[in-house]
């Protein structure tokens, strides 16, 4: 019997487009198992962060060359303790456990911003058997001397270096929407070797504490409304660039998944919905999708894919400026 929810992403055939994105829920083998049992078709692991790796390097350097760890000189130059394991080693071990324990594909995730250092991590992750790799370049362009081209070049160099290091690894790049010409930028990412883009990273916005005047880091989970920015760009990119697209940010229910699918997303990633409602949300969305396909006489989700992309939409100008004018015109006082 055909699987009506089948999805294809990064060369993988998935039983549905419902994929938990990188979050604390995908940071342990037991969490990942729970998501698999709840119906996830693949998982994206919590990221290995560049900051963690840099911290380890400093620690190792101290162990090996500076001995600044509180030991007196009489103890001599101590070897690195057997128990010391770098963040990368812990990550690879976790990946290994997930690969052994799960049947669904496991996509590893690297998260950082500097130009160097990614290639070796990617090689290790490929060797450990990941089914794909997601690069999350969470870069806030805060330097007024840095041009838009410099920022884009940073991303392109990172992707190129990883692609060169792991030529056969299915590779996705998670980006924010803050590019002057997102569609053109995605095209460039494809040219340097990205197989997929994950649209879009949410930049967390710090708040300000009035009395102390300190910045307060704030982690707010998403809402469905955030999906709309993604829908526009998925529709625009799907129509022009042959690249796999995952949506992340604001996928909470069946309607969200259907809309993303119509605009042309290959998979829908979820974090906030799973953290708020628990893994059971996956089965509820699955059931909702099947019901909708029946009611609207579609054979499968794949049949629906891209039907409202920029190329296929009845009125593609709705994704552009016309949408803005219509929206302004439609406003009426209460
Ligand atoms: C607590 C938390 C931890 C996250 N950790 C990661 C991470 O390790 N790597 C990553 O690329 N994204 C991470 N994200 C971002 C999510 O994967 C996702 O892209 C974002 O939350 C938007 O999707 P959502 O609306 O479904 O939550 C994290 C998000 C949350 C809320």
Question: How would you class 236 by CB atoms within 10 Å of its CB: exposed for 0-12, middle for 13-18, buried for 19 or more?
Answer: buried
Confidence of residue 205 (pLDDT cuts 50, 70, 90): confident
Ligand 1 center from residue 293 Cα (angstroms): 29
**How confident is the model over 243-256, as pLDDT tens digits?**
999 999 999 999 99
Return the percentage of the chain with pLDDT > 70, whole number: 91
287 has a pLDDT exceeding 90: yes
Nearest one of 177, 157, 165 to 133, comparing CA atoms: 165
What is the C-alpha to C-alpha distance for residues 194 and 243, in angstroms, rounded to an integer? 8
Which atom of ligand 1 approaches the CA of 274 most closely?
26
Q: Which long-range contacts (CB under 8 A, 24 or more apart) does 284-292 make?
A: 284/254, 285/18, 285/253, 285/254, 285/257, 286/5, 286/16, 286/18, 286/39, 288/253, 288/254, 289/5, 289/16, 289/254, 289/257, 289/258, 290/4, 290/5, 292/254, 292/258
Residues with CB under 6 A from ligand 1: 21-24, 46-47, 109, 111, 136, 174, 202, 219, 221-222, 248-251, 270-273
Structure confidence by residue, pLDDT tens digits, 183-198: 999 999 999 999 999 9
Atom of ligand 1 at shortest range from CA of 44:
17
Which residue has a Cα nearest atom 1 of ligand 1? Answer: 23
Ligand 1 atom showing the smallest separation from residue 47 Cα: 8
Residue 110 CB burial class (10 angstroms; 0-12, 13-18, ≥19):
buried
Q: Cα(271) to centroid of ligand 1, in Å?
A: 6
CA distance 262 to 308: 5
Q: Give the pLDDT confidence score for residue 70 in this predicted structure.
A: 52
Q: Could you tell me which of 283, 292, 300, 302 has the C-alpha nearest to residue 40?
A: 283
CA of 166 to the centre of ligand 1 (A): 25
Report the pLDDT averaged over residues 69-98: 75
Alpha-carbon gap, residue 251 to 268, rounded angstroms: 7
Nearest-CA residue for ligand 1 atom 4 is: 23
DSSP for residue 13: E
Mean pLDDT of 17-22: 98
Question: Do 14 and 105 meet the contact criterion of CB atoms below 8 Å apart?
Answer: yes
Best residue for ligand 1 mutational test, from 22, 95, 230, 268 (most atoms within 8 Å of Cβ): 22
326 phi, psi to nearest 5 deg: -60, -40
Residue closest by Cα to atom 30 of ligand 1: 23
Residues 148-174 have a mean pLDDT of: 96
Q: 22 C-alpha vs ligand 1 centroid, how far in Å?
A: 5
CATH number of 7-66+83-329: 3.20.20.70
Name the closest-CA residue to atom 17, ligand 1: 22
Ligand 1 center to 134 CA (angstroms) = 12
Burial tier of 288 (Cβ tally within 10 Å: 0-12, 13-18, 19+): middle
Backbone angles phi, psi at 239, to 5 degrees: -75, -15
How far, in Å, is the centroid of ligand 1 from the Cα of 219?
Answer: 10
Contact 286, 293 (CB under 8 A): no
Strand, helix or coil for residue 57? helix
Per DSSP bridges, beta strands 106-111 and 244-247 are unpaired
Region class of 217: left (phi > 0), else alpha (psi between -120 and 50), else beta? beta
pLDDT in tens, 99-133: 999 999 999 999 987 877 789 999 999 999 999 99
pLDDT of residue 259: 98
CA of 240 to the centre of ligand 1 (A): 27
Share of the chain above pLDDT 90, in %: 72
Residue 76's pLDDT is 52
DSSP code of residue 317: G
Give the model's confidence band at 88: pLDDT under 50 very low, under 70 low, under 90 confident, else very high: very high
Question: In 153-305, which ranges are E strands?
Answer: 171-175, 196-199, 207-208, 215-216, 244-247, 267-270
CA 47 to ligand 1 center in whole angstroms = 9
Q: Which of 274-277's residues contact partners 24+ apart within 8 Å by CB, and which partners? A: 274/20, 274/23, 274/25, 274/35, 275/23, 275/24, 275/25, 275/221, 276/221, 276/252
24 has a pLDDT exceeding 60: yes
Q: What is the Å distance from ligand 1's center to 51 Cα?
A: 17
């Amino acid at each position: 019997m055909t699987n009506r929810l089948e999805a294809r992403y990064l060369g993988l055939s998935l039983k549905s487009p419902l994929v938990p994105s990188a979050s604390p829920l995908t940071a342990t083998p037991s969490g990942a198992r729970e998501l698999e049992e709840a119906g996830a078709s693949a998982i994206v692991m919590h990221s290995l962060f560049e900051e963690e790796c840099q911290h380890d390097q400093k620690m190792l350097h101290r162990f090996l060359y500076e001995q600044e760890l509180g030991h007196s000189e009489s103890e001599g130059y101590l070897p690195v303790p057997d128990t010391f394991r770098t963040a990368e080693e812990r990550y690879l071990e976790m990946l290994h456990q997930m690969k052994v324990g799960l049947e669904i594909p496991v996509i590893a995730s690297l998260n950082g911003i500097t130009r160097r250092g990614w290639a070796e991590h990617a090689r290790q992750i490929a060797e450990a058997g990941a089914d794909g790799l997601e690069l999350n370049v969470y870069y806030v362009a805060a330097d007024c001397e840095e041009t838009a081209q410099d920022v884009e070049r940073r991303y392109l160099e990172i992707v190129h270096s990883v692609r060169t290091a792991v030529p056969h690894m299915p590779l996705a790049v998670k980006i924010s929407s803050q590019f002057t010409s997102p569609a053109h930028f995605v095209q460039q990412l494809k040219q340097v070797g990205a197989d997929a883009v994950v649209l879009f990273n949410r930049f967390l916005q710090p708040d300000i504490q009035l009395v102390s005047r300190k910045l307060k880091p704030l982690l707010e989970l998403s809402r469905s409304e955030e999906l709309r920015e993604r829908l526009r760009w998925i529709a625009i990119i799907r129509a022009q660039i042959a690249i796999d697209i995952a949506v992340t940010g604001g996928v909470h229910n069946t309607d969200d998944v259907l809309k993303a699918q119509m605009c042309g997303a290959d998979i829908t990633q979820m974090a906030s919905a799973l953290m708020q409602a628990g893994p059971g949300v996956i089965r509820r969305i699955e059931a909702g999708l099947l019901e909708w396909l029946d009611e609207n006489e579609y054979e499968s989700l794949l049949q629906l894919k891209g039907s409202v992309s920029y190329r296929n939409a009845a009125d593609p100008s709705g994704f552009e400026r016309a949408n803005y004018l219509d929206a302004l015109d439609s406003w009426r006082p209460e």
